[in-house]
Amino acid sequence: MKIVVLVKEVPDTWGERLLDLETGLADRVSSERVIDEIVERGLEFAISFAEKNDGTEVIALSMAPEEATGTLRKALAMGADRGVLIVDEALHGADITLTAQVLAAALEHIGFDLIVSGDQSTDGAGGVVPSAVAELLDIPQLPRLATVDLNEKEVTGAHVTDRITLSLSAPLPAMISVSERFAEPRFPNFKGIMAAKKKPFEVLGIAELGKNISVLDRPRSIMTEIAGKPPRESGVKVTADENSGRDLAEFLKKNQLI
Ligand SMILES: Cc1cc2nc3c(=O)[nH]c(=O)nc-3n(C[C@H](O)[C@H](O)[C@H](O)COP(=O)(O)OP(=O)(O)OC[C@H]3O[C@@H](n4cnc5c(N)ncnc54)[C@H](O)[C@@H]3O)c2cc1C
């Protein structure tokens, strides 16, 4: 069984997340970069499945600048068997369609039985790459799963929303995306971090994927204008005195809160 996890590197959710106001692209320097926390749960599923099922290989695949090597190695430290990083100047500022095309080509190059992704990234938050990749590979997709079961022939899982729970299944090969309702991921231990240094790690360019992918082969979304968020205005202060009750009522009325 070959499980490929689509690992996206993102600026740390708890850190300052900035966009470069010149290029409109995520500012990768000023904030710490981590594995996207939703797909990290998918990685946890793949690694724990491999621990219980001999002959399972877990591959962490990412499309990102070379600096993402460290982040992808964290997936190896968690327990993935090998890493594949797609790096190419032509992918700078890639939009969702180009990202999906490149990931689909890389998946055909690597081979797979199950592809695991997050339901949406915590930075771009498009929520469409998994479906776009499944469409390009002409395979079924089970979206936003909170639980997953897997055997040699099929994958099943529960798609849980506030109102309903859907039980879904698909024959392999297939794509699944996990939601943040999925089980918490493990932290890599020292043994894992040391083992990661020796695990196979491949860096590939577009040309090595054997597909004729060009930024120009279809319309792309581009950033035309960007502006920083206006500084937050300080709120209205009501000091406790004989008028504060009336002042508060007026403030609530003026803002149609009562
Ligand atoms: C603030 C911001 C706004 C953006 N707005 C747009 C826009 O409007 N239109 C547009 O086309 N692009 C946009 N992008 C670019 C877009 O984020 C990238 O193309 C991105 O690689 C894919 O989209 P996503 O992050 O929304 O992924 P989603 O569609 O949310 O995909 C979720 C899952 O796909 C997988 N995945 C996604 N990207 C990668 C990757 N590079 N490597 C490995 N796995 C991956 C992961 O498993 C992830 O959990 C934006 C980026 C940012 C940071």
Residue 219 lies in a domain: no
Q: Per-residue confidence at 214, pLDDT binned at 50, 70, 90?
A: confident
From atom 12 of ligand 1, which residue's Cα is the shortest distance away? Answer: 95
Give me the number of domains the chain comprises: 1
Domain span at 25: 2-209
Whole-angstrom CA distances from 8 to 71, 95, 120, 211 are: 9, 14, 10, 22
From atom 39 of ligand 1, which residue's Cα is the shortest distance away? Answer: 8
pTM above 0.85, yes or no: yes
Residue 125 lies in a domain: yes
Residue 251 lies in a domain: no
* DSSP string for 69-123: HHHHHHHHHHT-SEEEEE--GGGTT--HHHHHHHHHHHHHHH--SEEEEESS-SS
Residue pair 43/75 in contact (Cβ under 8 Å)? The answer is: yes
Give the type of residue at 65: P
CB 60 near ligand 1, within 6 Å? no
Q: How far is the CA of 176 from the centre of ligand 1 (A)?
A: 16
- Rounded-to-integer distance, Cα 207 and Cα 95, Å: 19
CB 127 near ligand 1, within 6 Å? yes
Q: How far is the CA of 182 from the centre of ligand 1 (A)?
A: 20
Q: What is the pLDDT of residues 32-80, one digit of tens each?
A: 899 999 999 999 999 999 999 999 999 999 999 999 999 999 999 999 9
CB 121 near ligand 1, within 6 Å? yes
CATH number, domain with residue 189: 3.40.50.620
Q: What is the pLDDT of residues 149-187, one digit of tens each?
A: 999 999 999 999 989 999 999 999 999 999 998 989 999
Residue 225 lies in a domain: no
